[in-house]
Structure 1
């Protein structure tokens, strides 16, 4: 029984414009293992599917064919890669629901203003 949808895995890799070798490197698995996953001759562990979803910015449900929505359901923010965003997320963890709603509304409005300026 195939757990992983090999066509979706390939689609995600191509969407990023990377080779199978690069995909394996980003997922932190061997190239032969990745080749078997994309060929459908081997099923990855749940941990590997989770890492694939993270690398390809999608959800595990999408990769296993449980959902047609390819939007990620988890985003990892590394402090070393984005200190400002990391700090913002950390601050948001202490906010209540009303405060988060206000912040989200403000962020969306700010994003729209920035988009309008760039046009």
Structure 2
């Protein structure tokens, strides 16, 4: 029984525009293992599926065919990669629901202003 939807795995890789070799490297598995997963001849562990979802910015439910929504349900923010975003997330942990809603609305408005100024 196949756990992983090989077509969705391939679709996610192609959406990123990366090779199978690069996908394997990002997931931190061997290239032959990745090739078997995408071919459907081998089932990955739950941990590997979770890492795939992280790398491809999707959900594990999407990769296993349990959901049609490809939006991620988990994000990993590394302090070393994006210190400002990491700091923001840390600050948000202490906010109540109303404050988080206000901050989210502000961030969306700010994002719209930024994208409007690029036009």
TM-score where L is the length of structure 2 = 0.97
Question: Partner residue of 2:23?
Answer: 23
User: How much has 1:113 moved relative to structure 2?
Assistant: 1.3
Give me the whole-angstrom Cα distance separating, in 1, the residues matched to 2:17 and 2:113: 31
Q: Structure 2 unaligned segments of length 5 or more: list them.
A: none
Superposition map of 1:26-105 within 5 A? 26-105=26-105
Give me the whole-angstrom Cα distance separating, in 2, the residues matched to 1:25 and 1:110: 35
TM-score where L is the length of structure 1 = 0.97
Q: Write out per-residue CA displacement over residues 57-114 of structure 1, whole angstroms, 9 at most, x where no aligned residue.
A: 1110110001111111111111111000000000001111011011001111111111
Give me the whole-angstrom Cα distance separating, in 2, the residues matched to 1:73 and 1:118: 29
Q: Write out per-residue CA displacement over residues 16-68 of structure 1, whole angstroms, 9 at most, x where no aligned residue.
A: 11111111110001111111100101100000000000000111011000111
User: How much has 1:12 moved relative to structure 2?
Assistant: 0.6
